[in-house]
Structure 1
């Protein structure tokens, strides 16, 4: 049985909850970026104090700096159930997908086909669509215009003997709906198609078991998983070898450099293992016993989900009963993460977000780079949605404050 999350224990690791300038404010804009945990902040500060030198050199500070960077790859890999040399840390997910698209451009030929969705954040859509400029045929897996969902039956006609690549989101940053990624990736592999999965909107709710998902490439943002502003990219070894080195030719022996051609931010890479430090401490506190990495990761995923589900159900119930709110995406809390996008009646999402801020609610409004999805669902992109998003450190008091504020504002 999964224990109940100890919220007092959790929140002590997030300095934002002790920050005077944030006092009295409830944070519901986590899909845009989570609070950083203390373990990451401490590692970043220590790196700048003690090892802010060129890493992988010959003197002690340089050697330690390189070891810290290597440790981050190893420890994140354990939580993702992949090998350390399959984890690549670049400046952002948008930049990482750009590099990937350039790598695939060298492999694809005119007449080859790729499949994109109109459910994606533009970072995992636009770079692939541009390959049409070199003769690649781009096919769009379109959402149902009413629900915004992707239907597996609609994928089948798109798969041909010329299909080389399929890109899709683990879950939409608008709908919050969790796609059946393992099933989709298995079907793609059966057809000999490489998969690129955008997990940015999913990973903040629990780092995924990438091996179980079967994705060839899996991307997410560390600044949305309590860490520094970096993009994490898992590229399974066979796919990386097929794509080859994208960096300086003389870095061919260093696979961590292959897909970060501009070079990594040494300090942020080294600090990234602070995410694993935090998750390890969560596990030790709640489960008490030592566990192998795969079990530890699975336990923590369940712990975080268990913390979010009751609040998510409460918020969904409120939305269902409110005459001025319309939810995009599934009503069932088991089918989604706690990112909710709302249409707000006569008042624009921007007006409502401003009004909520006056009641201490930090929320977002806009299209959130999912213009194609909103247009497909008949929502004007310039209007966008009101987006409320939370993670495991959100507590009942935060939720009560949000519901009271929504009631007053609407």
Structure 2
């Protein structure tokens, strides 16, 4: 575990980034003969030794299926698995572990909610989403709307990439049944004012879901403070393993919702005449759950919380600030999304260069970014582009790596223009 040091007793905490980097084995390698500069954290963050060790220890010392094993390994596995659920509950400040559902990721979590709320919808009802949503928070609602006769209505964004609050207020009405909104845009880095829009929505009895996939790596959400009905996130964005995510839901709503899948853990009793469902949270966890992945996610949360959120946020803010300062060193570079409140995500285009060429040529220099539409085609249409290049920073990135990114962009520009 990395050390956290302070410059003095009154200054903000300062992270030892070099020590943190030693916690992530993958960062020590070379790509195409160059030291790896990993700036694709918005797609998936790397994993610290603490996560790898926790999962390895689970498989070496306690692997068994959970809950019904009448033996020691089963008890160990169940204790670790349910302990991980309590870690997530504490992380989100949910009232009970009954409100913490394991899923495969944010996408499945949103699908669970969309299908569960479908019986509440009828023709003419409206579902509000923002124009900056990931496809995972658009398509499930479109599918449910097609079945029920409801309509999916987009909330506009400003040219700067902020939620258009006037648009939101004008669209919110007595037909609105659901508000599904991202906490942080995966393309723009914008931090949306979810607490205030949820507060407005609740006055009309609107149910609210927050896509927290891009938020949890950068700050800790409090679901009770936000007042949301549902909150979803993915482990792999939060330095944890792939294949597992979390759905928080208010218990009274989860009790009313039908199960998403059938079989295994989610049943209480099965007969050919009638099947009854298990209690929460198991009602929504059909089949053998992702046990090792839950253990890994808990270790990732412990790792991040051990670093200290204020120090992390200060370090990430410095990375974004330096990147913004260097934009002027690349002629024709335009940032897509200049919101006042952002996490360290920078989507951009460069005049005369295709985003995919930028990504390929940066990779030749050992620099990993993401290019394309980022699963946000409506937002790309809004900005009149087919895609962007995106650099997304994490706590293990350094100011030197930010500078290498811009040196790489300058080199590409000299080569191709």
TM-score where L is the length of structure 2:
0.88
CA distance in 1, matches of 2:126, 2:156: 19
Counterpart in the other structure of 1:292: none
Shift of 1:269: 1.5
The counterpart of 1:239, out of the listed 253, 268, 293, is 253
Does the 8 A contact of 1:324 with 1:345 survive in 2?
yes
Q: Could you say which residue in structure 2 is the equivalent of 1:322?
A: 330
| Contact residue 100 and residue 259 of structure 1 kept, 8 A | no
Could you say what secondary structure the match of 2:13 adopts? coil
Over residues 338-362 of structure 1, what are the superposed CA-to-partner deviations in whole Å (9 max), with x where a residue is unaligned?
A: 1111012111000011111121111
| Residue 12 of structure 1: how far off its partner (Å) | 2.6
Secondary structure, counterpart of 2:120 in structure 1: coil
Unpaired runs of 5+ residues, structure 1, are 283-299
45, 48, 53: which one pairs with 2:56?
45
| 1:386 equivalent among 381, 389, 392 | 389
Q: Distance in 1 between matches of 2:373 and 2:147?
A: 29
> In the aligned structure 2, how far is the partner of 1:260 from the partner of 1:174?
31
Displacement after TM superposition at 1:263 (Å): 4.4
Equivalent residue, structure 2, for 1:69: 81
Specify the alignment match of 2:272 in structure 1.
Answer: none
- SS of aligned partner of 1:375: helix
Query: What SS class does the counterpart of residue 400 from structure 2 fall into?
Result: helix
Displacement of 1:44 in angstroms is: 1.0
For residues 74 and 81 of structure 2, what CA distance do their matches in structure 1 show? 11
- Cα distance in 2 between the residues matched to 1:81 and 1:264: 23
Q: Partner residue of 2:65?
A: 54
Deviations 1:263-297 (A, max 9, x none): 42122122221113313432xxxxxxxxxxxxxxx
Q: 1:376 to 1:261 in 2, by over 3 A?
A: farther
Pair 1:73–1:318, CA change in 2 (3 A)? same
Measure how far apart 1:226 and its partner are. Answer: 0.4
Residue number in structure 1 paired with 2:299: 274
Could you tell me which residue of structure 1 aligns to residue 364 of structure 2? 358
Alpha-carbon distance, 1:154 to partner: 0.8
In proportion to residue count, which structure has more helix?
Answer: 1
Name stretches of at least 5 consecutive residues in structure 2 with no aligned partner: 1-10, 269-276
Corresponding residue for residue 129 of structure 1: 142
Residues 56-96 of structure 1: CA deviation (Å, up to 9, x unaligned): 22100001101111011111221221132222221121122
Q: Alpha-carbon deviations, 1:171-209, whole Å to 9, x = none?
A: 111111111011011111111111111111222112322
Question: Which residue in 2 is equivalent to 1:5?
Answer: 15
Distance 2:293 2:157 in 1: 40
**CA gap 1:149/1:52 in 2 versus in 1, 3 angstroms:** same
User: Per residue, is there more strand in 1 or in 2?
Assistant: 2
Residue by residue over 1:305-345, the C-alpha shift from the partner in whole angstroms, topping out at 9 and shown as x without a partner, is 1111111111012124532211011164xx10111110121
Number of the residue aligned with 2:351 = 345
d(CA) in 1 for partners of 2:235, 2:70: 30
Q: Distance in 2 between matches of 1:214 and 1:393?
A: 32
Distance (whole Å) between structure 2 residues aligned to residue 18 and residue 327 of structure 1: 30
Between 1:76-85 and 1:115-124, the stretch displaced more is 76-85
Distance 1:254 1:393 in 2: 41
Aligned residue for 1:312? 320
| Higher alpha-carbon deviation: 48-57 or 144-153 | 144-153
Structure 1 residues 99 and 262: alpha-carbon distance in aligned structure 2, compared to 1, 3 A threshold: farther
Cα distance in 2, alignment partners of residues 225 and 316 from structure 1: 24
Tell me if structure 2 keeps the 8 A contact 1:91–1:264: no
* Matching residue of 1:253: 278
Which residue number corresponds to residue 214 of structure 1?
227
Alignment of 1:101-116 (within 5 A): 101-116=114-129
Of 201, 214, 223, the match for 1:188: 201
8 Å CA contact 2:28–2:35 kept in 1: the answer is no
Asked if structure 2 preserves the Cα contact closer than 8 Å seen for 1:139 and 1:158, the reply is no
Q: Is the 8 A contact 1:366 1:386 kept in 2?
A: yes
Q: Quote the offset at 1:18 in angstroms.
A: 3.3
Task: Report the equivalent of 1:396.
Answer: 399
Give the equivalent residue in structure 2 for 1:265.
290
Cα deviation digits, residues 24-44 of structure 1 (max 9, x gap): 010111011000121111111
Q: Which residue of 1 aligns with 2:7?
A: none
CA RMSD after TM alignment: 2.0
The alignment's TM-score, normalised by the length of structure 1, stands at 0.89
Alpha-carbon distance in structure 2 between the residues aligned to 1:274 and 1:345: 43
